[in-house]
Amino acid sequence: AQTVTQSQPEMSVQEAETVTLSCTYDTSENNYYLFWYKQPPSRQMILVIRQEAYKQQNATENRFSVNFQKAAKSFSLKISDSQLGDTAMYFCAFLDFSGNTPLVFGKGTRLSVIA
Amino acid sequence: KAGVTQTPRYLIKTRGQQVTLSCSPISGHRSVSWYQQTPGQGLQFLFEYFSETQRNKGNFPGRFSGRQFSNSRSEMNVSTLELGDSALYLCASSLVDSIRPLAQYFGPGTRLLVL
């Protein structure tokens, strides 16, 4: 069974600084997706960024980028120029290509952006 | 495109009652998944429906059930409510590429309080 581990329960960062959230996963699959979701205090879960495992190029979405290390089974999220609106819980998630298993989430990292 | 909608947003029930939650996916999305989120257990997968058929099921008792209609709208039902069922229930929809699901988009959730 796949597992996703987020080793940082809480982090904080100063506004305009850069922060990196860690995520590791365990799987025997070769084809899969990885996701980062953001859940602000409003509770709406928002897709931040996705990465297909067969793509070597790291995904980027504006201020959000990932460092995907397939061999190390690591998938970290970098937030550049942090903004107060980035304050949220961040969940790393894994989905294999088979469609036979559901999305697997990590426990989350609570990020606070400080003015 | 309208996002995933969930109704009701908030619900208060008493032990022993039953409840039905509704989810309308993004137009064109045929896969709907349900999750339970609690502070202690995090995000736990309940079930996934695709084309009116349950494709995956999480580790929840039979009191938790669901269904999907021909228009892809989904409902989940919890019978004989227990205090521990108090949670945020999230619905997510996704496109499906052949058999594999793609990124999931979440609704705002239904917050259920069982007294």
Rounded to the nearest angstrom, the minimum Cα separation between B82 and chain A is 23
The two structure tokens encoding residue A108:
């989350």
Cβ-Cβ pairs closer than 8 A, A with B, add up to 54
3-state secondary structure of B76: strand
- Mind listing the pLDDT tens digit for each residue in B1-58? 689 999 999 999 999 999 999 999 999 999 999 999 998 888 999 999 999 999 889 9
- Mind listing the pLDDT tens digit for each residue in A3-13? 999 999 999 99
Mean pLDDT of B89-108: 84
pLDDT at position B111 is: 96
What's the CA gap between A82 and A93, in Å, rounded?
A: 22
Contact B100 A35 (CB under 8 A): no
Q: Which is nearest to B107 in space by CA: B37, B51, B18, B26?
A: B26
Residue A2 sits at φ, ψ, to 5 deg, of -75, 145
What's the CA gap between A99 and B4, in Å, rounded?
A: 21
DSSP line for chain A: --EEE---SEEEEETT--EEE--EEE-S-SSEEEEEEEE-TT---EEEEEEETT--SPPEETTEEEEEETTTTEEEEEE-S--GGG-EEEEEEEEETTSSS--EE---EEEEEE-
Rounded to the nearest angstrom, the minimum Cα separation between A4 and chain B is 12
Looking at the predicted structure, is the pLDDT value of residue B107 above 90?
yes
Rounded to the nearest angstrom, the minimum Cα separation between A18 and chain B is 26
Chain B interface disruption, residue of A3, A35, A45, A104, most B CBs within 10 A? A45
The two structure tokens encoding residue A8:
């940082």
DSSP B11: E
Burial class (CB in 10 A: 0-12, 13-18, 19+), B111: middle
- Mind listing the pLDDT tens digit for each residue in A29-77? 888 999 999 999 877 899 999 999 988 899 999 999 999 999 999 999 9
Q: Which is nearest to A44 in space by CA: B106, B25, B111?
A: B106
Q: Do B7 and B108 meet the contact criterion of CB atoms below 8 Å apart?
A: no
Q: Which is nearest to A106 in space by CA: A12, A43, A22?
A: A22
The region, left, alpha or beta by phi > 0 then psi within -120 to 50, assigned to residue A107 is: alpha
